[in-house]
Amino acid sequence: MNSFIIGMESQNVQKIVIGALSLAAFAILWELLAIIVNNSFYLPRFSSVLSAFFSVIQSSFFFNDVAISLYHFIIGFAFALIIGIPIGMLMGWFPVLDKALNPIVEIFRPIPPLAWIPFAIIWLKLTHQAAGFIIFMGMVFPIIINTYSGFKNIPKIYVEAAKVLGSVSSIKLIKNVAIPAASPMILSGIKTAMGVGWMCLAASEMFGVSDSGIGYKIWFYYGIQAMDYVVVYMLILGFIGLLLDFLFRYFIQNRVLKWQKGTVV
Amino acid sequence: MGDLIIENLSKEFKKGSNEFLALKDINLSVKNGEFVTILGPSGCGKTTLLRIIAGLETYSSGTATLDGELITGPGPKRGMVFQEYSLFPWKTVLGNVMFGPLMQNFSKDEAEAKAMTYLNLVGLSEFKNSYPYELSGGMKQRVAIARALANEPEIILMDEPFGALDAQTRNNLQNELLRIWQEEKRTIIFVTHSVDEAVFLSDRIVILSKRPGTIKKIIEVSIPRPRDRTRPEENAIRNEVLRLLDTNENCEID
């Protein structure tokens, strides 16, 4: 057991060392390549990105950018949950609603969320809600689909066991059996949706919904040809996406699904 | 209370455009506190019969009543222990056993008290905070028995509950079930395809014929308990049962 743990630790150390070396090599190559290219619009230097990074995180607008982007994201997320989960549940539980709603979902699902930008502008004007709407369109379908298939695949034995114990009505069965039994699927749908929604974020802020936000800043700095700042905001976008994924996995998924043996979601 | 009467009950199944008779003219009455086993080769409708009593399956003609009330759907007076592991994996042992009482609108404290009573009865109270994946197969079925008992049903239906267990665990659980049955004095209807199990456990053995399932014979087992698995008295009944089953050819379809 002890040697097993030591083995795990040395493996982790190895992983960190190799990862760090690889990143350092990447940064050096980048810097060299940028020196050769010698055009900060085509390829900003790593060193100038690094100094741009420090000036961004020390700036007063950085916090505002993150807050506005999270605000857009939360608008889309909240509506996707409020609308997506009930639709998925109803479709998964009632065969009639499955038949009725399935064609509609299947028509709209493959449309790329960014294709909704014109209607977002027409319906919601250039507001935060318009950005939220694009993110919503990216998030709602993974949530619907996963909730739906989670509900479709509830083992019959749990439903029957609940029935003989006196939980007979649809409402009771949905609450006591379907939702907990489907929760691993629903949560993994939400996780997927968070990834998709975050990817939609940059574009949703590029059509003029606000004058701050991470996506907006990427577009703004591109406009003034400050490509080192563009890279900084790109990296921030990626990093916060990663952080959201991590927080969701460790604080929501693992906590809710602790009854699952060896949770791998 | 706990008197089950089944009269002229038949069950037709539809498979595509084909109809077939699964059960035909079943007449059976089970008295309160009795331990009745339903025995027959697989695919002969014994699980179907049990599921009809549970209210999980409809019947085509005849009647099934419990204490004079027609059975039309599942209800808490009839508890069931399934062959498959049916504990809710998202609930702890205690949560599983409390589920029935909570559905009967008992308060949380009352439900917990009932659950603890029956967890004590099956000897698993110290595992109350475990999740089902942490339990062995035999422990899971003991919790399932406690969960069925916690609703204080008139009748407990058991569908090959020990079928998936190894022989040693199975014997232990048979003994334990008899102890619980003698303490609780509830009616038990137990489906099995093990002749040994039927002879060891029951007051009466109902032998079903091949499809369509009809009652071929009901054998009284009047050997006092505790029974032995090898004595001549038990062997005589075992031989009789085996002879009756032997004249049945195998059922083709399950």
Shortest CA gap B192–chain A (Å): 19
Mean pLDDT of B69-90: 93
Between helix A61-93 and helix A128-152 the angle, nearest 10°, is 30
Burial A157-194 (b: 16+ CB within 10 A, else e): ebbbbbbbbbbbeeeebbebbbbbbbbbbbbbbbbbbb
CA distance A93 to A99: 11
Cross-chain residue pair A164–B54, CB shorter than 8 Å: yes
Burial class, A129, CB count within 10 angstroms (exposed 0-12 / middle 13-18 / buried 19+): middle
For A25, other C-beta atoms within 10 Å of its C-beta total 10
As a whole number, mean pLDDT of residues B65-74 equals 91
- Quick check: B234 and B222 in contact, CB under 8 A? no
Selected from 3.30.450.40, 3.30.465.10, 3.40.50.1970, 3.40.50.300, the CATH number assigned to the domain covering B33-77+155-165+180-254 reads: 3.40.50.300
- How many whole angstroms separate alpha carbon A124 and alpha carbon A139? 18
* CB-based contact B91 A157, cutoff 8 Å: no
Interface test with A, best of B58, B77, B90, B114 (most A CBs within 10 A): B90
CB A128 within 8 A of CB A74: no
**Does residue A27 register a pLDDT over 80?**
yes
Chosen for mutation from B71, B83, B86 (greatest number of chain A CBs closer than 10 Å) is B86
Q: Do A165 and B76 touch (CB under 8 A)?
A: yes
Judge: A260–B133 Cβ closer than 8 Å, yes or no: yes
Of B76, B89, B131, nearest to A166 by CB-CB distance is B76
Largest CA distance in chain B: 54
Distance, first Cα to last Cα, chain A: 26
Please name the residues between 167 and 206 in chain A that touch chain B, using a CB distance below 8 Å: 167-168, 172, 176-177, 180-181, 183
Distance from CA of A179 to the nearest CA of B (A): 10
B133 Cα distance to chain centroid: 23
Using a CB-CB cut-off of 8 Å, the residues of chain B touching A150 are: none
- HSE-CB at A49 with a 13 A cutoff on CA atoms is 20
Record: contact B86-A183, CB cut-off 8 A: no
Respond yes or no on whether the N-terminal peptide bond of residue B226 is cis (omega within 30° of 0).
yes
Backbone φ, ψ for residue A166 (5° rounding) = 105, 10
Which conformational region is residue A54 in: left (phi greater than 0), alpha (psi within -120 to 50 degrees), or beta?
A: alpha
Mean pLDDT of B176-186: 91
A115-132: per-residue pLDDT in tens? 999 999 999 999 999 999
Question: Hey, what amino acid is at A188?
Answer: S
**Cβ of A158 and B86 within 8 Å?**
yes
Residue A255 pLDDT level (bands cut at 50, 70, 90): confident
DSSP one-letter code for B213:
B
Chain B residues with CB under 8 Å of A162 CB are 88, 99, 103
pLDDT at B181 over 90: yes
Which ranges in chain B are annotated with CATH 3.40.50.300?
A: 33-77+155-165+180-254
pLDDT tier, A60 (very low <50, low <70, confident <90, very high otherwise) = confident
Residue B252: pLDDT band (50, 70, 90) is: very low
> Poorest-confidence range of A148-152, A261-265, B81-85?
A261-265
- Around B27, how many Cα atoms within 13 Å sit in the side-chain half-sphere? 3
Mean of all residue pLDDT scores within chain B: 90
| pLDDT confidence of residue A46 | 94
Kindly list the residues from chain A whose CB atom is less than 8 angstroms away from the CB atom of residue B90. Answer: 180-181, 183, 259
Q: Do B29 and B4 form a contact (C-beta atoms < 8 A)?
A: yes
Q: What is the mean pLDDT of chain A?
A: 92
Q: How many CB atoms lie within 10 A of CB A93?
A: 18
E strands within chain B? 4-15, 18-30, 35-39, 61-66, 69-70, 78-81, 155-159, 187-192, 204-208, 215-220
Mutate which of A157, A158, A159, A164 to disrupt the B interface (most B C-beta within 10 Å)? Answer: A164
Does A83 have pLDDT greater than 50? yes
* A199: pLDDT strictly greater than 80: yes
Enumerate the domain spans of chain A: 1-38, 43-256
Looking at the DSSP bridge assignments, the partners of residue B159 are: B191
Percentage of chain A beyond pLDDT 70 is: 95
Quickly list H helices, B135-229: 137-150, 167-184, 195-201
Which residues from chain B sit within 8 angstroms of residue A171, using beta carbons? none
Q: Which helix (H) or strand (E) holds A102?
A: helix A95-108
Percent residues over pLDDT 70 in chain B: 97
Closest chain B residue by Cα to residue A257: B90
Residues of B in contact with A160 (CB under 8 A): 56, 74, 80, 82, 86
Residue A236 has pLDDT above 50, yes or no: yes
* Minimum Cα–Cα distance from A160: chain B residue: B56
Residue A180 and residue B99: Cβ atoms within 8 Å? no
Amino acid at residue number B84? E
B216 vs chain A: nearest CA distance in angstroms? 29
Closest residue in chain A to residue B80, using alpha carbons only: A164
What number does CATH give the domain A43-256? 1.10.3720.10
Min mean pLDDT across A206-215, B115-124, B231-240, B243-252 is at B243-252
Residue A223 CB burial class (10 angstroms; 0-12, 13-18, ≥19): exposed
Say if residue A113 is preceded by a cis peptide, omega within 30 of 0.
no
pLDDT band with cut points at 50, 70 and 90 for residue B228? confident
Which among B14, B100, B128 has a CA at the least distance from the CA of B60? B14
* pLDDT for the residue numbered A263: 46
Contact A165 B147 (CB under 8 A): yes
Contact A164 B80 (CB under 8 A): yes
Mean pLDDT highest for which of A92-101, B20-29, B202-211? A92-101
Long-range contacts of A109-118 (CB under 8 A, 24+ apart): A109/A141, A109/A145, A111/A137, A113/A137, A113/A138, A113/A196, A113/A200, A114/A200, A114/A203, A114/A204, A117/A203, A117/A204, A117/A207
Touching check for A156 and chain B: CB below 8 Å? no
Question: Burial, B175: exposed, middle or buried (Cβ in 10 Å; 0-12, 13-18, 19+)?
Answer: middle
- The yes-or-no verdict on residue A265 having pLDDT over 50 is no
What is the sign of the dihedral through the CA atoms of B209, B213, B215 and B220? positive
Bridge-based pairing of strands B69-70 and B155-159 is unpaired
Would you call A166 and B104 a contact, using CB atoms and an 8 Å cutoff?
yes
Q: A246 with A233: CB under 8 angstroms?
A: no
Q: Considering CB atoms only, which of A158, A168, A261 is closest to B88?
A: A158
Q: Do B56 and A164 touch (CB under 8 A)?
A: yes
Phi, psi of B4 (to 5 degrees): -105, 130
Question: Any alpha helices (H) in B151-166, and if so which ranges?
Answer: none
Show residues of chain A in contact with B147, CB under 8 Å.
165
Q: Which among B78, B79, B84 is the nearest to A157, CB-wise?
A: B84
